[in-house]
Amino acid sequence: MLGGVFKKVLLVLLVVVVFQNWGKIERVFNPSQVVSEQVRANARVVLYTTEWCGYCKQIRRFLDQKGIPYQQFDIEKDAQARKAYEALGGGGIPFVDVNGTLIRDYRPEQIMAALK
The predicted-structure confidence for 76-95, as pLDDT tens digits, reads as follows 999 999 999 999 998 899 99
Total number of domains constituting the chain: 1
Note down the domain range covering 104: 2-115
Cα-only R_g, the chain:
17
Percent of the chain with pLDDT over 70: 81
The residue type found at 103 is: I
Positive or negative, the Cα torsion across 23, 104, 42, 113?
Answer: positive
Look at residue 38 in the predicted model and tell me its pLDDT.
66
Helix axes 22-29, 2-20, angle to 10 degrees: 70
Give the pTM.
Answer: 0.66
Q: What is the CATH number of the domain that holds 41?
A: 3.40.30.10
